[in-house]
Structure 1
Amino acid sequence: MSSASSMVDWDLAGRTARRLVNAGPQTTREEAAAVVAELHEAAATAVAHVEALTGLRPVPGGAVPEVVVVDRPGWADANARGMAALLDPLVEKLAERQETRPGVLSTAIGSRATGLQAGGLLAFLSSRVLGQYEIFGTGGRLLLVAPNIVATERKLGVDPSDFRLWVCLHEVTHQLQFTGVPWLAEYVEAQIAEFVAATDLSPDVLRERLQDVLRSVADAVRGGDGDGQAEGLMALVRDPRQRAVLDRVTAVMSLVEGHAEYVMDGVGPDVVPSVRTLRKRFAQRRKGRGPIDRVLRRLLGLEQKMKQYADGRHFVGGVVELAGMEGFNRVWQGPDNLPLLDELTAPHLWVERVLGRPALPA
């Protein structure tokens, strides 16, 4: 999985995550089989509802994404492979630009240290992620993490069937975003490649900084707040071009996440009878600075970055209100139509820029 020049030993990261993660809630074999079957059924059912609400359709003739119900180690393995497929070729290009290449021993030691830290973070996140649409390294695959879905529905005290369909609506929205908008994955990959190209750091220095970030994240997982001044991933960003790329990536991820949140609630009680209860209890679960908040805030380095993800929901709802779903779907026509950071909190600016008309209610 990992090349000789890898910044992170992703094989070790995957093994470390598998060793650290716990299995999840107790279920009988029959209960587990029933959960897997219902999640597959919910994912299939969700497609028609998301298509009807959003107007998105897969590109004709495109591959049909695989739906895979996984456990926590399975999610960690998948993400280790995906990150390796995305980042290792970019790091190799970065190393090729250096006049002198790092020694094999120092590279191995550094990548193993970072692999251990990344494995710890994967183990932590693998017990909290409900689902994920993979776009890197697999050609598109929908993962549903069964033990986390069961654990969450039990903790919230909600109807299991409603909750499982509700989660699938979110993940299937991501699936349709990337299967219906072919340039979207290429755009995200291009932004990451541009981010790497803009750095003047050697792979060794970049790895050292990444280790510092991961140590800070691990401290956040344990509940420590440090000095409150940690830059997180922003510590890796020095060049103004990289800051600009980070802004574009934040904007597009805010869009796709906000769009999925809009769909989860937009289908209404005819599809998910207890949708209002689900949203209320799920929103309550997100309040405060729990473990996942500490990790993401520390990892991103800025409170504002977390806020921008929430702003995505505001943006989608605002544009639909002003221009209707057909007007909103102009966002998928090309990179120039993606929202800018300031438009996330001011949807009327996007309507005026992209649609070329005053932002009047649809």
Structure 2
Amino acid sequence: MKHIATFAAVGAALALAGCNSETNSNTKAAPPARPVLSIVVKPNSDKTIGFTGTIQPQYQTELGFRVLGRLVARNVNVGDLVKAGQSLAQLDPFILALALRAAEADLVKARAQLANTTAAENRISILLGRQISNQADFDTAQQAKEAAAAAVQQAEANLAKAREQLGYTTLNADIDGVVTTTDAEVGQMVAAGKRVVSLARTDIREAVVDLPDDRAQLLAAGAPFEVHLQADPLVKANGKVREIAPQADAATRTRRIKITLEQASEAFRLGATVTATPLEATTSTIDVPLSALLERDGATRVWIVDTAAKTVKTVPVQVAERNGRSARIASGLEAGARLVVAGVNSLSEGQAVKMDERTTR
């Protein structure tokens, strides 16, 4: 009986040890929740970002003479307002005036030659009718008349050309505007086509600003802006993007944006410095630390904490801008979400986490 009791005690002890071993194995299979550092993200709707630029004309014309000559007069200076048809500069017309007189003399000579050949043709025609002259003489006279008529047409064309070239010695404004540059002085020899005066229209003005490449990519033609005059911030005007540079500057990595102003006051003079603020640039962006970004499979993702289940999951986001410490999220992340900001490369989908007060900010 003693041996039987001993065996029973040993069996009970072994069974109890097996239960304890199984319990310990199950405990090791369920790892503890991992503490994470997280923040609650907030939108940037209360931020306004302005970009410095200048007022420039949308339409500008560079004017120059069509003929070579010496400049004898320049009637305007930078800043002068001019009307269409107003004289801006004058070349010495002496050489072209002589050419005009020569063309007039050539026309008189051609017309006299035409009169003589016409009279000769008439005489030979009468003699041919009386059978005093022959057909060959008549054909020759007729040919001479036609050649004289052609010479008259050529002389008339040369005269028109000479008059036109003489008119080219006067440079006239083709639009109402303001003089922005002058590139020739009195007494200077001016080549044909060389810029002498630049005119800018004052009725349509635009703000020209340089934006960072990543921010310019978020804009499209027609995007609204608010433009403030830096000399007087109370003076403002609304505008819309007319043109976006197709590529960024190699040195500054910025792209030039042209914003056409709508009903701008006279205070927005050409060359004035302004601040242009995009009206829709900060309504949906969120700033997060760079340590929160996870690059996976060619996409940028972030870890979001499910506060109810106390687990994490990744969501894709679109980054609008990066700097040395933070990134601006354009889409994919909602305000109020709890975001993991450290150790993003060592988490897994659905992993249990612990939001300890000491590691939450």
Q: For this structure pair, what is the TM-score category when the shorter chain's length is used for normalisation?
A: under 0.3
Q: With the length of structure 2 as denominator, give the TM-score of the two structures.
A: 0.18
Larger radius of gyration: 2
Q: Quick one: higher RCO (CA 8 Å, sep 6+), 1 or 2?
A: 2
Q: Which protein is richer in helix relative to its size?
A: 1
The normalised TM-score by structure 1 is: 0.18
